[in-house]
Structure 1
Amino acid sequence: MYSNFVKWLDERLMVTPLWRDMADHPVPEQANPSERVSAFVYCFGGVTFLLIISQFITGMFLALYYVPDIVNSYNSTKYIMTHVTFGSWLISMHNWGSSLIIIMVTLHMLRIYWMGVYKKPREGNWIIGVTLLLLILAFGFTGYLLPWDEKAYFATQVGVSFLKYVPFIGNALVKILQGGNSIGADTLTHFFALHVLFLPALLLTFLAFHFMLIRRHGISGPY
């Protein structure tokens, strides 16, 4: 009965043909599992994507209990760590995951650069990859303030101060992020909105273009 239901569902949603179309494509000889070292470096992008999924999942559960205001944000973070089942584990996964993503995406881009895969016709995907790296760094920056403790406050103050050196739009960018002339309640609200709404939307959009171009141009070996 279960197999009949799966078959019925698959015939209507066309999951198997879609999956086969995505999975069945040639890969470079160097990515063969028998070439253990070479094959490993081809996994950097996939591991990064799995970490992104992990961040989305842990972030959704954390958002169930987190309160984004200067009165309750610290206490809600503390509550998650001490009273929510697996709360401390979720926060640790989300915290360490943000660092691991930066490491893995950097390794992934170093592999792309080292092998020369950014060359024609993949220049556009290289630019998208750089944009994804910047978005991931923005995730880490906006998320750091959310616990609203002393370390997060002063670290954000230093980080935001660097933005004023951006040519032409630096001062305006600082005011937009801070929600005024100093870090306060509006800053926390802006950072939370960026972290859970704007940045995820941008990340998913650029990831879709990234995967589309990988599918179109294929996975390339060293040039």
Structure 2
Amino acid sequence: MPKHRRQWRSQLTRAEEGRGWVFFALYVLAFPFLMGLVQRSFGGELPVAEASVIYYLLSVTLVFLVFWSFLKNGFYLLLDWLPENLFAFGTGLVGAGALHFLVMRLPYPVENPNAYNYLEQYAMSPAATVVIVVVLMPIVEEALFRGLLFGAVRRYSRALAYGLSTLLFAVYCVWQFVFTYNGMDLRYLLLFAQYVPMSLALCWSYDNGGSVWTPVALHMVLNAAALFHAIR
């Protein structure tokens, strides 16, 4: 007989949630500035790609320390509910691709610097760039934006969980561009629309698969596709 879908409940313990929000705030607000400070302290001699690998390795280590039980249980849920998670992954991948095609037809006042950044980083250090973009980033960001943010809000409102997780992740992907070019250009915030399809698909895959490792895997595939498109 087919399994009945489990009722949604937050998979995080109260302790993990508390530690998670502290880590979330540090990761979004403090860590990028600390990374820039470290880079400047070496007078620009510390290679950016290698420094970023260290930064994300430390971030992933902290993610496992903060969310260990959640990530471990998510792996067991992935195995126990493999058909549901495979379906959520596949439909999320197709949906992200279709919606991305549509949003990229919209006119934007500025070009997205991400493709050029990927190309530049890959040219300097291919292996480090692949490790960062395809492996480390998805683990950290899915634990925070889907496991913590989506999961915490989802137990109160499914619509609000989708809205907050999708919007905040999409804005997070572009906010640094606003301050990149010796000033402030708020037009770059409009590029958040390009990340809405991906963010929606990641929420969908977690909500319908039940394991955080499903959006992690989907995030890895989507990032790999974006990197391949940038360097080809």
Rg: which structure is higher? 1
Q: TM-score, normalised by structure 2?
A: 0.30
> Larger helix proportion, structure 1 or 2?
2
- Considering Cα pairs closer than 8 Å and 6+ residues apart, tell me whether 1 or 2 has the greater RCO: 2
